[in-house]
Amino acid sequence: MAAPELHIDVALQRLDMVVDGAVERSYAISTALNGVGEVQGSGCTPRGLHRIKAKVGAGCAPGTVFVGRRATGEVYSPALAAQHPGRDWILSRILWLTGCEPSVNRGGAVDTLRRYIYLHGCPDGLPMGVPASHGCVRMTNADVIDLFDRVAVGTWVHIDGAPAPSPRKGAAP
């Protein structure tokens, strides 16, 4: 069996794990509210060919809070959320991406790794299937833990597609 590859379709807000050309698993995701783009500070999800550079959080409890890719010792709860309103929660596991295309998503102002673009868990109850992140690819905690256990550092990740229209940004009432 070949190693899995990940295909992220921004338009469909879906991540497919593909093995030997067949979709083995599909996950609902949430990409950037600002759409797709590669520039540092844009708040966009980068397109193109990437690889998983690092896996963070093996063995941590579901809902473990990460800041700067380090577990804080906290587990997400509504009470903790109330203490930190507006925080962009990174929970459970992190799959840190690096771009593979020079001047597209690698190097200079378009470097995915230096932009700290991850696949990561988020608070349960945040909607999947709609763009809402700050650039990362959000997943449910259960899904990111499942995916984390199925992929290795070096796994290919292709991010493709036009941004799906967001009901919170520019949509007609």
Q: What is the pLDDT of residues 72-98, one digit of tens each?
A: 999 999 999 999 998 999 999 999 999
Asked, for residue 78, whether it belongs to a domain, the answer is yes
Asked, for residue 164, whether it belongs to a domain, the answer is no
Asked, for residue 167, whether it belongs to a domain, the answer is no
Asked, for residue 53, whether it belongs to a domain, the answer is yes
Asked, for residue 100, whether it belongs to a domain, the answer is yes
> pTM for this one?
0.91
Whether residue 11 is predicted with pLDDT greater than 90 in this model: the reply is yes
In total, how many domains does the chain have? 1
Whether residue 138 is predicted with pLDDT greater than 60 in this model: the reply is yes
Judged by DSSP in three states, 115 sits in coil
Domain CATH number, residue 145: 2.40.440
Give the pLDDT confidence score for residue 2 in this predicted structure.
86
Tokens of 8: 């992220």
Give the pLDDT confidence score for residue 164 in this predicted structure.
43
Domain containing 125 equals 30-154
Asked, for residue 79, whether it belongs to a domain, the answer is yes
Whether residue 146 is predicted with pLDDT greater than 50 in this model: the reply is yes
Burial code of 18-52, b = ≥16 C-beta within 10 A, e = fewer?
beeeeeeeebbbbbbbbbbebeeebebbbbbebbb
